[in-house]
Amino acid sequence: MAPSRLSLFIAAPIVLVSVMALGLGVALQADRLDDTTRAIEESRLRFTLDDLRERFEARMALGLPLKALPDAAAALERELRRDPDIVFISVIDNAAAPVFGAGAGGTDPPALLRQAAARDWLLREPGFVTLGARLSQPDGVPAGTLLLRHATQRQAGAVAMVTRELTLATVCAVLLTTFCSVVGVDLLVRRMDGTLARMNAALGQPRSGDGAAPLVDNVNQAAASALHDLAAARDTLAPGAR
């Protein structure tokens, strides 16, 4: 049986609020997941740079210049092989000239990165994140900068996949909520109609569709009474007329 118009009218606001709440929840969860995933990935990359910086600065503390650090290039190559999403990892001196490098583009850092003055910094670009870690001599004099450029396509793809799954689950939840709301409200409305009908019957009030039947009965009774009175008057007057 199709739901009544009143049921649909009552269920519509419930469904609308449910859709808005579920949609907002998906958007917030997707944004939170993206922020959390990005923070974890950037923390891991920062740990990698800090570890390399500690090793390089420990060797410079022994009196070795930056360009003469042993196994520096091999250490960068190991980090590159360990993480396939690293685009390049390199070391540049104070003049932004490359000293060591591994990966594509490691010998040509962007001009914007060469101007970074902070000891640790981070630059986010569409599809990439670049981190920098300043190297210092034992006396605190800057000796160069470690650069690491990392692709974020895989991270974005994972977040997009989870977002699609959440969206699909939300659509199913909306359909189920709509069905339950319409059916539940329709049953409630029909139950209220049945209760009102029983109350009207108990009070002796006719149903809305049978309002003409009592009127016809009253007219018939009045006509029969009039005919009876007319016959009695005729019988009473009949002997005098003779």
- As assigned by CATH, the class of the 5-160 domain is alpha beta
Q: Residue 44: name the closest of 93, 100, 82 by CA.
A: 82
Q: Chain-wide mean pLDDT for the chain?
A: 78
Residue 115 has pLDDT above 70, yes or no: no
Long-range CB pairs of 48-51, under 8 A, 24+ apart, other chains included? 48/79, 48/83, 48/148, 49/120, 49/131, 49/132, 49/133, 49/146, 49/148, 50/133
Asked whether the beta carbons of 5 and 12 are under 8 A apart, the reply is no
- Tokens for 195, please give them: 């209760």
Q: What is the tens place of the pLDDT at every residue in 68-93?
A: 888 888 999 999 999 889 999 989 88
Residue 226 has pLDDT above 70, yes or no: no
- Rounded distance, CA 45 to CA 87, Å? 12
Asked whether the beta carbons of 49 and 133 are under 8 A apart, the reply is yes
Residue 195 has pLDDT above 80, yes or no: no
- Residue-range domain boundaries for the chain: 5-160
